[in-house]
Structure 1
Amino acid sequence: MSSGAGQGKDAPRPYFFLSYAHTPRINSRGAADPNLWVAKLYQDLCEAILQITDVPSGHPVGFMDRSMHQGQKWAERLSRELATCRVFVPLYSPRYFKSEACGKEWHLFSRRSVYQRRPTAERMTGIVPALWVAMDHYQLPRVAGELQFSHDSFGPDYAAEGLYALMKIDEFSSQYQAAVLKLARRIVEVAEQTVIPIGQVLDFESQPSAFDQPDSGDQVRISVFSYQQRELPPNRNAVWYGEQRTDWQPYRPDSSRPLSQDAADIARSMGFQPTVGEFEDETEHLLGGERPAGPSVLLVDRWAFLDGRRSEAVRRLDRRNLDSVAVIEPWNRDDQQSRDHERMLNELGDSVLAVSRGARQRPSLRDEGAGGAPGSIEEFRGEMERAVMRACTAHEQHHRGRPESGPGERRPSIGP
């Protein structure tokens, strides 16, 4: 796609793109959306910019993604906004610099040329960072560390605490309002003192992250035991499946992307380097030798237990009872077909996962947050974080000389 030329300040281009890391819910049922605080900041920035500029009615002021990174249309929308916005505003937090999606957003914006309207001592980049939380104890990636930007100019409380604390603590209310106004003025200043031509609308998913890659030693293997559409058992609804077994999407319509991608994003947000594969491609790693060479998370589709030949490898893995392999059985309580066949699927699971299920609650569509069997995409994200930590901790303990559970031993519960 071709790139466009620069436009005047009255053109309908958003002043800023707010780039932030989505915070998962503590639990899925009845919990407030933690990203509503970011949405409030976004609205306050838009209001402040409207007050200090002459943006015409109906023209975009900013852009904030609320879609949780789902689907091709979402990726195309992000790419368009990143190709046209005038200022990029990354919201710094430890989670932000672990997010691959945020790194791609930074990369796409930074590809665009920046021309200053008049020479100044400060080299403007079109990037205006904001502190969501204090980052004093965290090492910034190279691209962020190279920015010539002082957070102290927005006030000492802002620099020490970040916007989230200023919003949450009543005594900081005036400091929050002052910081938002100064941030809005900075966004407008950079937008008006630079010319950033419209960039190319590129494929978002194929872009690299601008952030430094994690240490190769922090690896987590994610394997998927499920179906391809063409190998489904009779009458199983194909809406949950794709061309590859790793395309399994058990939480449609709430999440229309493969669950393995969600799992990989969660592992990255925790600072790990994930790999994704079909369970059958991982059997040598999981079943060969004395124990796996690294931590693993196995995502199990209980419908796939209907294939007795393939299930035998999962049964063998379960009998090994290795703590460095965490098992999650995603279980969508809105999947009516699974509800109708729950007894049959539970019996299949009991026959294959006898060891691991003996140490935790049996998964059920009627259970609220049953350990290892998340019933919604929000519950899955929390369970995935716990599974990664269990597997990695067990793997590290083994390397420090503490053995894993052996055959016949009951491992600790994999529930919360």
Structure 2
Amino acid sequence: MYDPGGWDEETARPYFFLSYAHTPRAGTRGAGDPNHWVSKLYEDLTDAVLQITDLPDGAPVGFMDQSMHQGQLWAERLARELAVCRVFVPLYSPRYFNSVACGQEWHSFTQRPVYPQKQTSERTSGIVPVLWVAMGQYQLPEAAGKLQFNHSSFGPDYAAEGLYALMKLSYFRSEYELAVHRLAKRIVDVAAETVIPVGRPLDFQSQPSAFKAPAPTNQLRISVFSYGQNELPPGRNSDYYGPRRVDWQPYQPESSRPLAEHAVRLARQLGFHPSVHEFDQEAEEILSSAEPTAPGLLLLDRWALRDEQRREVVRKFDRRNPPWVSVLEPWNTGDADCVAHDLQLGELSAQTMRFKRREAKPSFQGDSEGLSTVEDFEDALPRAAMRAKYAFEDRSRTAHGSPGPSRPSLREAFDPEPRADSGRGEPGSDEEGGPPPGTAFGGGTP
């Protein structure tokens, strides 16, 4: 049986374990220690705890892992400290909740039982979180989100800016000192109000992280309607396709990268968390009556509309006309097959996508040539993605009973000059018998 280090009632235990995410050094030569400010906080917090307790000289006050090295000895030291400390103090930051090691530290500490010191006392967790940076715009993982802790008691500037800003800016010097004092007092109070028995050191490196990654709040689902190389119709050049349907490369030889990869790169530049799917697998969810979970982009290959069964699914999608899904329809005029079948497949697309084309007017595709090049596609995608995002947000507000603030219509946002003639004769309208050679469609009216 493992002796947890000889700790007993006569031996002083550390008041706190400071858990933080190590910041890597900047690439510039001569850059200072990026964790300097965490070390400074640890020193100030240790001094403050000493001032408000009767700890004897030499007694452990806290623990902070200042080593960037890992290995068996490092893991054993962390496990021992986590098994005996009285209070766990995590420094909240986006980097912290993305750190596996920090999640393992949190998990290891919370395996120890916590009891209130008195039967009538309010039970506490033994965790005293610190806002290292403001976290208002970030979604906390469940383990942190369920903690009841009032950060405003440390001062309004701390709650608004985080402790790091208060340390760095001399303007906030007094606010920093107040926050550290109240943090030290909170640590001492929690240690006095709880009974957290010494635990047995765990195998740290085998522990799971306490942080389940939250679902991205700015998702974009990119779906591809195309062929795989093994299902092409007779006579279609296979150079534009890959093993999977999502490998469609319509802009060969200008670009050999799958179109979905271009879309992912552009979506990330817009701040989205994109994911790529086959449209056939997405269709059931899109066509259902359930509330959408994210805006979407459909990258549509007109050649795949020749498959009658699959074309019917696209037609149902068009009739459903979800405004939170925009459609991009590249048509490479440098592709000899596309040139030879331009009229036939253009008419097939117009017949299949009647509602999307109608709701897309006035056109926001940018020029009369359509999406015939990679550059055209890259120009059109941001507008289509943001259009879908706005429609999704409108849908979400309506579903939750909140109309939200009024804003300019999507048509106005993407059509800088009002059109005098909004009826017949517009590019892409049914009256003209088909769309231009490559089209970008927004959603319907939210």
1:364-392 C-alpha deviation (Å, 9 max, x unpaired): xxxxxxxxxxxxxxxxxxxxxx9xx79x9
Q: Assess, with a 3 A threshold, how the Cα gap between structure 1 residues 142 and 396 changes in structure 2: closer, same or farther.
A: closer
Structure 2 partner of 1:58: 58
- The RMSD of aligned alpha carbons is 4.1
1:91-133 C-alpha deviation (Å, 9 max, x unpaired): 1112111111111111000010112211455321111111111
- 8 Å Cα contact 1:86-1:126 kept in structure 2: yes
Structure 2 partner of 1:171: 171
What pairs up with 1:327-406 in 2 under 5 angstroms? 401=299
Aligned length: 258
Is the aligned partner of 1:72 residue 2:72?
Answer: yes
Letter of the 2:20 partner, please give it.
Y
- Alpha-carbon distance in 2 for matches of 1:98, 1:292: 31
- Alpha-carbon distance in 2 for matches of 1:84, 1:188: 15
- 8 Å Cα contact 1:155-1:179 kept in structure 2: yes
Letter of the 1:71 partner, please give it.
G
Structure 2 partner of 1:38: 38
Tell me the secondary structure at the aligned position of residue 95 of structure 1: helix
- Alpha-carbon distance in 2 for matches of 1:324, 1:40: 47
Tell me the secondary structure at the aligned position of residue 46 of structure 1: helix
- Alpha-carbon distance in 2 for matches of 1:123, 1:6: 24
Q: Assess, with a 3 A threshold, how the Cα gap between structure 1 residues 324 and 199 changes in structure 2: closer, same or farther.
A: farther
- Alpha-carbon distance in 2 for matches of 1:395, 1:153: 39
Structure 1 partner of 2:101: 101
- 8 Å Cα contact 2:133-2:162 kept in structure 1: yes
- Alpha-carbon distance in 2 for matches of 1:45, 1:12: 18
**Offset of residue 213 of structure 1:** 3.0
**Offset of residue 23 of structure 1:** 1.8
**Offset of residue 215 of structure 1:** 4.5
Residue ranges of structure 1 left out of the alignment (5+ in a row): 219-286, 294-318, 326-385, 404-408, 410-416
- Alpha-carbon distance in 2 for matches of 1:124, 1:23: 30
**RCO higher in 1 or 2 (8 Å CA, sep ≥ 6)?**
1
**Offset of residue 24 of structure 1:** 2.2
- 8 Å Cα contact 2:141-2:214 kept in structure 1: no
- 8 Å Cα contact 2:139-2:214 kept in structure 1: no
Structure 1 partner of 2:411: none
What pairs up with 1:79-90 in 2 under 5 angstroms? 79-90=79-90
Letter of the 1:140 partner, please give it.
L
Q: Assess, with a 3 A threshold, how the Cα gap between structure 1 residues 288 and 57 changes in structure 2: closer, same or farther.
A: farther
Structure 1 partner of 2:291: none
Q: Assess, with a 3 A threshold, how the Cα gap between structure 1 residues 17 and 394 changes in structure 2: closer, same or farther.
A: closer
- 8 Å Cα contact 1:14-1:62 kept in structure 2: yes
Structure 2 partner of 1:114: 114
Q: Which has the greater radius of gyration?
A: 2
- 8 Å Cα contact 2:216-2:273 kept in structure 1: no
Structure 1 partner of 2:91: 91
Structure 2 partner of 1:355: none
Letter of the 1:123 partner, please give it.
R
Structure 2 partner of 1:133: 133
Q: Assess, with a 3 A threshold, how the Cα gap between structure 1 residues 24 and 288 changes in structure 2: closer, same or farther.
A: farther
Structure 2 partner of 1:406: none
Structure 1 partner of 2:21: 21
- Alpha-carbon distance in 2 for matches of 1:213, 1:108: 18
- Alpha-carbon distance in 1 for matches of 2:79, 2:115: 21
- Alpha-carbon distance in 2 for matches of 1:320, 1:81: 54
State the TM-score, normalizing by the size of structure 2: 0.49
Q: Assess, with a 3 A threshold, how the Cα gap between structure 1 residues 3 and 117 changes in structure 2: closer, same or farther.
A: farther
Residue ranges of structure 2 left out of the alignment (5+ in a row): 219-241, 249-254, 278-296, 300-327, 331-373, 375-446
Q: Assess, with a 3 A threshold, how the Cα gap between structure 1 residues 185 and 29 changes in structure 2: closer, same or farther.
A: same
**Offset of residue 20 of structure 1:** 0.8
What pairs up with 1:318-333 in 2 under 5 angstroms? none
State the TM-score, normalizing by the size of structure 1: 0.53
Is the aligned partner of 1:194 residue 2:194?
Answer: yes
Structure 1 partner of 2:162: 162
- Alpha-carbon distance in 2 for matches of 1:69, 1:122: 39
- Alpha-carbon distance in 1 for matches of 2:31, 2:184: 31
Q: Assess, with a 3 A threshold, how the Cα gap between structure 1 residues 68 and 400 changes in structure 2: closer, same or farther.
A: farther
Q: Assess, with a 3 A threshold, how the Cα gap between structure 1 residues 129 and 320 changes in structure 2: closer, same or farther.
A: same
Is the aligned partner of 1:182 residue 2:182?
Answer: yes
